[in-house]
Amino acid sequence: MRRHSHRLQRTILQPVEVTGIGFLTGAQVTLRFCPAPPTTGLIFVRTDLNPRAYIPARVDWVTDTRRRTTLGHLPVQIGLVEHVLASLAGLRIDNCYIELNALEPPGLDGSARGFVAALIEAGIDVQPLHRAIWEVQSPITVGQRGATLTLHPDPDSDTLKITYILDYGPQSPIDRQTFSQTITPETFINSISASRTFLLEAEAEELRKQGLGARTTPADLLVFGPKGPIENKLRFANEPARHKALDIIGDLALLGQDVRGHVVAYRSGHPLNVELARTLSRKLKQSHPSTARLAA
């Protein structure tokens, strides 16, 4: 990887809170975004633990990618971090403390829209230090079981572009669909942030058997039955593909660096998103050892 350019780092101007029910535990959760100095990065703070526990949003802290991205080990753990991280990365907020009093953020409506609204309310503070923007010189691909995720060089763009191809097969209630977008704060707000997490009815039932999502109903997110969304309507015809792009943005934020290029994803999810972040982290450490602290 090589350095392409740089931009000024950003944080928020003032603290702001978001409250809601956690999808997994059903607990009432308060999340508080707080400003942070340059080069701090994104750090979760478990305020319900004594002493407070700090969990960096870094790929080396990922401990689980089954249906969601989890950082740390119990009791110092935070799960379902991808929507919060996508909100921060989508708005190009680089330094922030994310305080919360539970092991997951509020679920809200299954999208990033509520987090984005709070961050916009807090305001953006441009900081005096630079943040590097990196690029690959040849495609990097990760894959498993027919799913692939590739970061391609893109000499015509100064930012990241994501193309997601969703294909669950001909028997799925979710149609094959594609979403493609150059990622800027404006496109993230308008085209991606409102897309909600989704799952099949059978998957929702399995989670309930595990004791998860007891206070979550199909009206709270997208649950697909044989005839489409149950007790809900799509916000976009390709909302599931848009949400997959949202997850990619959140998971790649774990790299702790800006990357330009074109991400092309086919049927990928959190495991491959995190594997791509890990691969990029390794390459950065090999080619630019000075980035090791920020990319770890």
Place of tokens 């998103």: 273
Note the pTM of the prediction, 2 decimals.
0.94
Cis peptide before 75 (omega within 30 of 0): yes
Tell me how far apart the alpha carbons of residues 132 and 226 are, in angstroms, rounded to a whole number: 46
Tell me how far apart the alpha carbons of residues 30 and 186 are, in angstroms, rounded to a whole number: 27
Tell me how far apart the alpha carbons of residues 23 and 111 are, in angstroms, rounded to a whole number: 12
Q: What domains appear along the chain, each with residue ranges and CATH number?
A: 2-291 (3.30.230.20)
Question: Hey, which residues are catalytic here?
Answer: 270
Give the per-residue pLDDT at 210.
66
Q: Pairing state of beta strands 160-166 and 258-266?
A: parallel
pLDDT tens across the length of the chain (296 residues): 899 999 999 999 999 999 999 988 889 999 999 999 999 999 999 999 999 999 999 999 999 998 899 999 999 999 999 999 999 999 999 999 999 999 999 999 999 999 999 999 999 999 999 999 999 999 999 999 999 999 999 988 889 999 999 998 888 889 999 999 999 999 999 999 999 999 888 777 777 766 666 667 777 778 898 888 888 899 999 999 999 999 999 999 999 999 999 999 999 999 999 999 999 999 998 877 766 544 33
